[in-house]
Amino acid sequence: MKKTALAILLGVAVTAWAGEERLSTEKEQTGLAVTIYNGDLALVKDARRVRLERGDNRLAWRDVSARMQPETALLRSLDGRPLTLLEQNFDFDLLTPHKLLEKAVGGEIRVIRSHPTTGAETYEPATVLAANEGVVLRFKDRVETGVPGRLAFDTVPANLRDRPTLSMLLDAGKGGEQAMELSYLTGGLSWKADYVAELSGKEDSLDLNGWVTLTNVSGTAYRDARLQLVAGEVNRARPEMTPMVMMRDMMVKAAAAPAMQEESLLDYHLYTLARPTTILDNQTKQVALLSAQKVPAGKEYLLQGAEYYYAGQYGELGRKMKPAVYLEFDNKGGQMGVPLPKGVVRVYKRDSAGRAQFVGEDRIDHTAKNETVRLKLGEAFDITADKKQTAYEKIASKVYETAYQIEVRNAKDEAVVVKVVEPMPGDWQVVAESLKHDKATAHTAVWQVKVPAEGKTVLTWKVRVKY
């Protein structure tokens, strides 16, 4: 009884799929929305007006992403009409001469040859035996390899499409035109943030422009789409990687514009482009994210120490050391104060002739409003330092006193401040110093060393450390 029922169900399905197929293309679109996440993931919502027959329909929804995750596809009626989805197939095996030949293996085709002198064409039937690393054809009296002429096929297999298609069997209830929406997750769409900062002449402020760089390798175009971007790390269940899945993944693979509107979404941030945009397949494009002028900024020279030399005798610790150059600004107030997606900030400064010159870049993580952005631009050229240990003494069990000296030289025609940061091990106490230090953390001492123009400053200190 169960076998009979199953056979009837299969017969019904085959009969239904054997009916005439209704094609729906992007010409029927009434709306398209694309939300792109970090990490090669996007949500597509494709709304169309489609005419259906009463009862069962075969609907081929063309112009979908070739990187669609078909298990996430959801078709719904926007008119509130009953709509029952019975079955769906994602046809991503696209029509090519080689694919057509592969599907013809075991079947008969026609080989067309042209006479080299007269141009007259002759036809000869042949059976396709193989189409792997070459073509093997069986004729009536022989077997040939290669393609001896043009090949003609009677039909195109139903599962070969000229573009990615989601084919569905559905029960529409009543017939007529319906407003429908297909939503699905897909790979092949990604975005990143890029920022361009221009320092002022006095290096105390900057102009910041943010751009979103979009890349589409999903296999289809998204025309006049409402674009939204989600900044943040969305958790995704890791798929079970079977050998076939792993093989498939390896084979697939000026004037300031209005800023994007930003809002919170759960624990992420959502950015919405104010106007529709078109993202063509195999295209990279940029859209404006933000624009801010005269953002207060500050520059810092940093000499970073290490704690290893507080436990032994070392002597010279470095000659002509170059401080790292950092640029800082606060993401608050004025035109700032919006969450900044992670990306690369490239910094420029104009030279004496007014030409913008590149002076460094750094990568920032997602940065909330009211947080400080800190960029490492490189190393100072005109500021150098020599560092040495000047004394080492063990005064008790696991108690040591060590002394150090840093000579900082400044070849610039203006005074600078160099921040000297020393990580301190164990229980420590500064027992002597030429400049007063700040205890930044439980294990860090910081000195702000002022160095005159074309001059030098010597910093000395002695530390008692107990391990």
Give domain status of residue 360, yes or no.
no
H/E run at residue 199:
strand 189-199
In a domain, 127, yes or no: yes
> Are the C-beta atoms of 422 and 443 separated by less than 8 Å?
no
The answer to whether position 376 is within a domain reads yes
327 and 181 in a common domain: no
139 and 65 within one domain: no
373-393 pLDDT, tens digit per residue, is 999 999 999 999 999 999 999
Look-up of token digits 């409402």: 226
What residue type is assigned to position 39 of the chain?
G
Q: How many CA atoms lie within 13 A of 263 on its CB side?
A: 5
Whether 119 maps to a domain, the answer reads yes
- 3 vs 188, which has greater pLDDT? 188
Q: What CATH number does residue 378 fall under?
A: 2.60.40
Which residues sit opposite 288 in a β-bridge? 211
Does the pLDDT at position 227 exceed 90? yes
- Are residues 312 and 430 located together in one domain of the fold? yes
SS (H, E, C) 207-275: EEEEEEEEEECCCCCEEEEEEEEEECCCCCCCCCCCHHHHHHHHHHCCCCCCCCEEEEECCEEEEECCC
Does residue 121 sit within a domain? yes
**Amino acid, single-letter form, for residue 56:** D
pLDDT in tens, 152-176: 888 877 666 767 888 889 998 888 8
Tens digits of per-residue pLDDT, 269-305? Answer: 788 888 899 999 999 998 888 899 999 999 999 999 9
Give the integer Cα–Cα distance in Å for 51 and 24.
9
Q: CATH code at 115?
A: 2.30.30
* pLDDT computed for residue 131 by the predictor: 87
Q: Quick check: is 445 in a domain?
A: yes
Query: Is residue 269 within 8 Å of 262, Cβ to Cβ?
Result: yes
Residues 146 and 121 in one domain: yes
Q: Any idea what DSSP says for residue 27?
A: G
**Backbone angles phi and psi of 342, in degrees to 5:** -65, 150
% of the chain at pLDDT higher than 70: 86
- In 3D space, the residue among 67, 276, 290, 84 whose CA is nearest the CA of residue 180 turns out to be 84
Is 195 among the domain residues?
no
The reported pLDDT for the residue numbered 337 is 81
Q: Contact at 8 Å (CB) between 465 and 443? A: no
Does one domain contain both 402 and 432?
yes
Say how many domains are in the chain.
3
Token pair recorded at residue 269: 């941030």
CB 183 within 8 A of CB 43: yes
* Same domain (yes/no): 103, 78: no
So what's the pLDDT on residue 271? 84
pLDDT value, residue 237: 66
Residue 85 forms part of a structural domain = yes
**Shared-domain flag, residues 24 and 118:** no
Do residues 75 and 181 both lie within one domain? yes
- In this predicted model, which residue has the larger pLDDT, 161 or 250? 161
- Specify whether 309 is located in the same domain as 173: no
The answer to whether the beta carbons of residues 338 and 262 sit under 8 Å apart is yes
Residue 324 has a pLDDT of 96
Task: Specify whether 168 is located in the same domain as 23.
Answer: yes
Judgement on whether residues 325 and 387 belong to the same structural domain of the protein:
yes
Do 435 and 393 lie in one domain? The reply is yes
Range of the domain at 380: 298-334+368-466
Residue 13: is its pLDDT beyond 50?
Answer: no
CA 278 to chain centre: 18
How confident is the model at residue 266, as a pLDDT? Answer: 58
pLDDT value at residue 69: 92
pTM for the complete prediction?
0.68
Q: How many CB atoms lie within 10 A of CB 425?
A: 17
Burial of 213 (0-12, 13-18, 19+ CB in 10 A): middle
Distance between CA atoms of 299 and 382, rounded to whole angstroms? 15
Residues 152, 108: Cα–Cα separation, whole Å: 10
102: pLDDT confidence band, cut at 50, 70 and 90?
Answer: confident
Q: What is the dihedral of CA 284, 290, 292, 296, to 10 degrees?
A: -90
